[in-house]
Structure 1
Amino acid sequence: MGIGVGITALRRGAVLASVALRRRLLVTLEINNKDRAYDWFLAWLAHHQRTTRRPAWAHSHQLSVETAYAQHKNGSADVLFRLVAGPGVHWLKYRGAWMQVKRERETRAMQMVSGTPWETVTLTTLSRDRALFPPLLAEARDAALRGQEGRLVVHTAWGTDWRPFGLPRRKRPLHSVVLAPGTAEKILEDVRAFLGRREWYADRGIPYRRGYLLHGPPGSGKSSFIQALAGSLSYDICVLNLSERGLTDDKLNYLMSNVPERSFILIEDVDAAFNKRVQTSEDGYQSSVTFSGFLNALDGVASGEERIIFLTTNHVDRLDPALIRPGRVDLASLVDDAVPEQARTLFTNFYGSGQAEDDTSHDEVELLGRQVEEIVGDGIKDGRRISMAALQGMFIRHDAKDAVASTRELLATRQ
């Protein structure tokens, strides 16, 4: 009996001593998948595996696969499979210090809310090496930002979270979207003025947010201009679909109040958002977002600040006056079908400065561009108009000389 009591006491003493030593000698850092550093660290971890000759988890039994495509210049692509550290315990050596990397996944708690599992990554190292955590995270952040440099990230709503949709895409030059003279400059100047007046808004107690409405016929370049504008200002885009299944007034308000930094909120075809034909899907589902809830999310008491919202519509006359009043829509701009000067500018962008695939000279391109300008102008006089999207599609299919004749034929068929 005495020996048993002694063994039990020694065992408890060893456990308490182990806990005390861990508290004094070890430090732990937890990163959950709701924090942006989570994706940054996992991407850094995968890169660390590829650049290290023999990564510490090379012989691990807990692995995940990462699939990527390598695009070649001839248009073909190779599918690459990379094995990365999966849920489990792994070991990492960073700047001479060993760290334990524990990746855990809870599949029931978060799936009921957002449809995605709750994941955490826990880093454990000696207490003396705690100073390595900030440079490691900074290195992961810088690597992620370098991968997105010169590219535009589009986010979509996933439950109550914003998540990147697809891979970052190449930024579109602002001059590549040709609008009517003065339209792009007016919007760009207004956005830049708003971004530079944060303190001005705060001093006067005005909510720091701005709303824009771009209206006009389909194919006039509304969405393309917003995408190019975001890229020119190094902003991302958060696309919000008001007819999404499961979206309610509360979730809408939460999403609009928790937009990633330096992002535009884009709501397209807002005139159809509260149309029963759009709200109801084939299986009878109807969106739960109400018009009053949408207005409150735009500028209600609980609405967020420090945001820029872009609304687009093809039918501005269908919008409720309460939606487009000042404070919700601060600047409305018409993005219409092509005007003569627009058509000529788009033509020269396609075929000028060596862009033409044939032997058309610069002077010939200028002459042909003026002909396109005259054709579009004559069409407007006769009540026939053409969208910028139609012109762009035609310029893609034809060379410079054929494009002039095709423009004339296309306008002749318009009513």
Structure 2
Amino acid sequence: MAFGELLASLQTNPYFGAGFGLVGVTAGLAIIRKGLMLSAHGLQRYALTTCEVNSKDKSYQWLLAWISRQSSRAQHVAVSTDFVEDEAGRVSSRFGFVPAPGIHFFRFGGRIFKCERRREQMDALAGMPYEVCTLTTLGRDKQIYADIFADARDIALADSRDKTATYIAYGHEWRPFGHSRPKRPIESVILADGLIELITNDLYAFITSANWYHSRGIPYRRGYLFYGPPGTGKSSLIFSLAGLLHYSICVLNVSDLSLTDDRLTQLLNTAPKDAIILLEDIDAAVVSRAPQASDGVRYDGLTRVTSSGLLNALDGVVSSDARIVMMTTNHVHVLDDTLTRPGRVDLKVLIDNATDNQIRRAFIRFYPNDKDMTDKFLAHVRSDPTPVSMARIQAHFLLHRDSAEQTLKHKVL
């Protein structure tokens, strides 16, 4: 049979025609599907811009709170509990809503945005799920995302402008601890004459001299050591300094048994910007090479952080720049000279027991209408020759807050 006759017979065969038609339809649908996929890919690549933010980024919570303001009609939300403190010091809870995992839409700057919040695997180090928030909009101008994050940042900072946030180390990252507290006025910390001015002038000179440090090849970091008896105001001073600079505080317990040299270096290098890193009671975290003091104070074996690891983290090849570290101790005599040398500790300040002028200033601050009793109260305190700390003076005032006369009738405990 000739080929032409075979082809003619196949064309008149109804079974072959039906099969050929099905093949053609299938091929056509596949081509259309492929074309749509290519078109969607091209549209996404050339006509859409996407921005991805993960939960490890500091702006993540800012973005969620900002989106909740934009998409007020969203019905699928998650509760975000915050705490607020009124002028009387009472703390109350405040409930807000943020977009729950899923897809949300909002409008900003004349554009419609798609927000997809995905919750992925558990982050073992952080102890919480790892999340990603993806924003997508039509257009190729990425500046719109910069505007979004700037707006979200401004709103978040406005809510915390008069507060000081505290961070603690959790695993290999910093995590906010508790709720932010109102800033403490620097004038509420009463130190010996000239100390506040000495410290604040040094801080302002440092934070405004980045170019000066870099141009001379000097590491741009500053270390402070506040030492003296307990209750003299070392921690209160640091908290008020953070408020004065609009900084947060990162509290690092160097004597933590879970802390290692590597983790210490990691934490010091990843601390939030504009933060004071606080190492409290540094004497309890180091092994002194000096002879044991007469009072028997010596802290050996209380930490896994080695002396060399601490020194290198503070002032070594792996140490970070643009950093302020403040250390406190009640036993400065047990600290090794290698820790307190310049470069690791640039300014050492003795915060001692209360002087006569401190006691006078504190009395006037608590009892401004009874200034004439200031010298009487000072004589009452000094009738006991034992040195007294400002913490004891303040506790005495709080005990007799409604009567200046009562402060003269009772002994400072």
Shared fold (TM-score, shorter chain, > 0.5): yes
In the TM superposition, 1:29-48 aligns within 5 A as 29-48=51-70
In the TM superposition, 1:284-299 aligns within 5 A as 287-299=303-315
Which letter does structure 1 place at the counterpart of 2:404?
Answer: A
Per mean C-alpha deviation after superposition, the further-off stretch among 215-224 and 325-334 is 325-334
In the TM superposition, 1:89-168 aligns within 5 A as 89-108=103-122, 111-127=123-139, 130-168=142-180
Contact 1:264 1:309 in 2 (8 A): yes
Secondary structure in 2 aligned to 1:91?
Answer: strand
Which letter does structure 1 place at the counterpart of 2:338?
Answer: A
* Structure 1 CA distance for aligned equivalents of residues 332 and 101 of structure 2: 51
Contact 1:368 1:404 in 2 (8 A): no
The aligned residue for residue 13 of structure 2 is: none
Deviation at 1:390, TM superposition (A): 1.1
* Structure 1 CA distance for aligned equivalents of residues 160 and 226 of structure 2: 28
Q: Give the TM-score taking structure 1 as reference length.
A: 0.84
In the TM superposition, 1:2-401 aligns within 5 A as 2-49=24-71, 52=72, 55=73, 57-58=74-75, 60=76, 63-68=77-82, 79-108=93-122, 111-127=123-139, 130-244=142-256, 246-274=258-286, 287-352=303-368, 362=369, 365-379=370-384, 382=385, 384-398=386-400, 399-401=403-405
Secondary structure in 1 aligned to 2:340?
Answer: coil
Contact 1:217 1:337 in 2 (8 A): yes
Contact 2:315 2:343 in 1 (8 A): yes
* Structure 2 CA distance for aligned equivalents of residues 289 and 84 of structure 1: 40
The aligned residue for residue 17 of structure 2 is: none
Which letter does structure 1 place at the counterpart of 2:195?
Answer: T
* Structure 2 CA distance for aligned equivalents of residues 64 and 123 of structure 1: 18
Deviation at 1:140, TM superposition (A): 0.7
Structure 2: runs of 5+ lacking an equivalent: 1-22, 288-296
Deviation at 1:277, TM superposition (A): 10
The aligned residue for residue 356 of structure 1 is: none
Q: For 1:68-102, what per-residue CA distance to the aligned partner results, in whole angstroms no more than 9, with x for missing partners?
A: 45667888776554443111111112233211100
Q: Give the TM-score taking structure 2 as reference length.
A: 0.84
* Structure 1 CA distance for aligned equivalents of residues 220 and 86 of structure 2: 46
Secondary structure in 1 aligned to 2:338?
Answer: coil
Q: For 1:36-63, what per-residue CA distance to the aligned partner results, in whole angstroms no more than 9, with x for missing partners?
A: 22121112123335xx4xx2x22x3xx3
Secondary structure in 1 aligned to 2:321?
Answer: coil
Which letter does structure 2 place at the counterpart of 1:369?
Answer: T
Q: Aligned-pair RMSD on alpha carbons?
A: 2.5
Deviation at 1:130, TM superposition (A): 4.8
* Structure 2 CA distance for aligned equivalents of residues 67 and 222 of structure 1: 32
Which letter does structure 1 place at the counterpart of 2:363?
Answer: F
Which letter does structure 1 place at the counterpart of 2:335?
Answer: L
Secondary structure in 1 aligned to 2:412?
Answer: helix
Secondary structure in 2 aligned to 1:114?
Answer: coil
Per mean C-alpha deviation after superposition, the further-off stretch among 226-235 and 270-279 is 270-279
Which letter does structure 2 place at the counterpart of 1:47?
Answer: R
Q: For 1:148-173, what per-residue CA distance to the aligned partner results, in whole angstroms no more than 9, with x for missing partners?
A: 11221222222222232222221111
Deviation at 1:315, TM superposition (A): 0.8
Distance 1:77 1:115, change over 3 A: closer
Secondary structure in 1 aligned to 2:343?
Answer: coil
The aligned residue for residue 402 of structure 1 is: 406
Contact 1:265 1:308 in 2 (8 A): yes
Deviation at 1:299, TM superposition (A): 0.3
Secondary structure in 2 aligned to 1:117?
Answer: strand
Which letter does structure 2 place at the counterpart of 1:64?
Answer: A
Distance 1:125 1:291, change over 3 A: same
State which structure, 1 or 2, has the greater radius of gyration over its C-alpha atoms. 2
Distance 1:79 1:175, change over 3 A: closer
Contact 2:119 2:129 in 1 (8 A): yes
* Structure 1 CA distance for aligned equivalents of residues 98 and 30 of structure 2: 42
Q: For 1:126-152, what per-residue CA distance to the aligned partner results, in whole angstroms no more than 9, with x for missing partners?
A: 126754322222111110111111221
* Structure 2 CA distance for aligned equivalents of residues 326 and 3 of structure 1: 81
* Structure 2 CA distance for aligned equivalents of residues 330 and 95 of structure 1: 49
* Structure 1 CA distance for aligned equivalents of residues 380 and 366 of structure 2: 17
Contact 2:65 2:98 in 1 (8 A): no
Which letter does structure 2 place at the counterpart of 1:288?
Answer: R
* Structure 1 CA distance for aligned equivalents of residues 42 and 224 of structure 2: 59
* Structure 2 CA distance for aligned equivalents of residues 278 and 13 of structure 1: 72
The aligned residue for residue 10 of structure 2 is: none
